[in-house]
């Protein structure tokens, strides 16, 4: 009798467990179908918004690379939607600026039976790096006419700029000691400007512990062409100009005028997302 009861209870529990398991699977399938439907509806809404020429979102984040007329930079950007045409922006940018008259000079030298090919920039006194932090606005000029269209926005703003001057080192064959040395420019250093003893540029890491910080400000104005397929994707090309002013002259290349004020133009590629 006890065995029959246990058998009956086992069958009952198995049936209840199987039923519960089936309900869980069914609920999971329903949830998956609901999520797919919500995703389709979201995409349909995004397409509709683009057909109406609107860029509607809450926040956006982006990164990109700038090809400047005087070197390069990389940046990170955040934006917060204010109105259908206005977005508040802030950004961080890290890059290098080069003097327009810089020219690489090739060199050949022998070491332990090997021929070493190198190069250096004659008269270069400092590598000029910068870190910029800024605030600005993005204003929609023209929305996307259809899902394959391009949205055009104006971007403008400015902020703080940190100029970083890193001494530029050369490797030379010292004519007095007949040994190889890495030297930087000093005001009365004739060795630095003697091309007959220069073997090439110094190692990249040399001089980072001697960086000189110079504060400044910057301004930026640009047009951004956003060709992303949906509003949740940011894919754009930007064309613009920069202006920077520093509190001291920024010596880059010897025998040339030193400046506090710098201008450049740029083209950048921008990638990011919106939500």
Reading the chain (275 residues) residue by residue, the pLDDT tens digits are 555 555 556 666 566 556 656 766 676 777 778 888 777 776 666 556 555 555 566 788 999 999 999 999 999 999 998 887 899 999 999 999 999 999 999 987 666 656 767 889 999 999 999 999 999 999 988 876 555 578 899 999 999 999 999 999 999 988 888 888 999 998 767 889 999 999 999 988 899 999 999 999 999 999 999 887 666 788 899 999 999 999 999 999 998 999 999 999 999 999 998 88
Same domain, 70 and 122: yes
Task: Give the CA angle between residues 246, 103, 166 to the nearest 5°.
Answer: 40
User: Do 124 and 252 share a domain, yes or no?
Assistant: yes
Q: Which two tokens stand for residue 106?
A: 């090739």
Report field, pTM of the whole predicted structure over 0.85: no
- 65 plus 44 within the same structural domain: no
Domain membership of residue 161 as a residue range = 56-274
Number of domains, the chain: 2
Residues 199 and 239 in one domain: yes
Structure tokens at 118: 């190198």
Question: Tell me, what CATH number does 250's domain have?
Answer: 2.40.160.20
Q: Residues 44, 72: one domain?
A: no
| 70 and 14 within one domain | no
The answer to whether residues 175 and 195 touch, using CB atoms and an 8 Å cutoff, is no
Residues 144 and 262 in one domain: yes
Q: Could you give the count of Cα atoms lying within 13 Å of 147 in the half-sphere of its Cβ? A: 9
148, 157 contact by CB (below 8 A): no
Q: Residues 14, 77: one domain? A: no
Burial class (CB within 10 angstroms; exposed 0-12, middle 13-18, buried 19+) of 53: middle
Q: How far is 187 from 114, CA to CA, in rounded Å?
A: 35
């Amino acid at each position: 009798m006890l065995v029959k009861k246990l058998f009956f209870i086992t069958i009952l529990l198995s049936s209840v467990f199987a039923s519960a398991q089936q309900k869980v699977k069914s609920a999971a399938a329903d949830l998956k179908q609901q999520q797919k439907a919500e995703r389709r509806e979201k995409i349909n809404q995004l397409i509709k918004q683009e057909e109406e020429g609107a860029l509607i979102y809450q926040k956006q984040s982006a990164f990109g690379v700038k090809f400047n007329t005087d070197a390069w930079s990389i940046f990170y950007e955040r934006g917060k939607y204010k109105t259908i045409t206005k977005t508040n922006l802030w950004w961080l940018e890290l890059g290098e600026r080069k003097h327009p008259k810089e020219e690489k000079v090739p060199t050949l030298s022998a070491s332990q039976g090997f021929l070493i090919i190198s190069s250096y920039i004659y008269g270069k006194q400092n590598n000029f790096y910068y870190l910029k932090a800024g605030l600005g606005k993005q204003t929609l000029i023209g929305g996307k006419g259809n899902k394959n269209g391009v949205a055009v926005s104006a971007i403008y703003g400015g902020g703080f700029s940190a100029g970083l001057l890193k001494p530029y080192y050369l490797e030379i064959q010292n004519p007095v000691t007949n040994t190889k040395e890495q030297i930087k420019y000093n005001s009365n250093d004739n060795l630095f400007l003697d091309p007959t003893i220069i073997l090439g540029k110094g190692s990249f890491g040399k001089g980072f512990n001697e960086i000189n910080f110079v504060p400044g400000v910057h301004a930026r104005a640009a047009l951004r062409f956003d060709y992303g397929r949906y509003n949740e994707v940011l894919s754009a090309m930007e064309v613009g100009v920069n202006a920077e002013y520093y509190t001291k002259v920024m010596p880059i290349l010897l025998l040339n005028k030193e400046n506090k004020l710098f201008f450049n133009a740029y083209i950048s590629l921008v990638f990011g997302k919106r939500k």
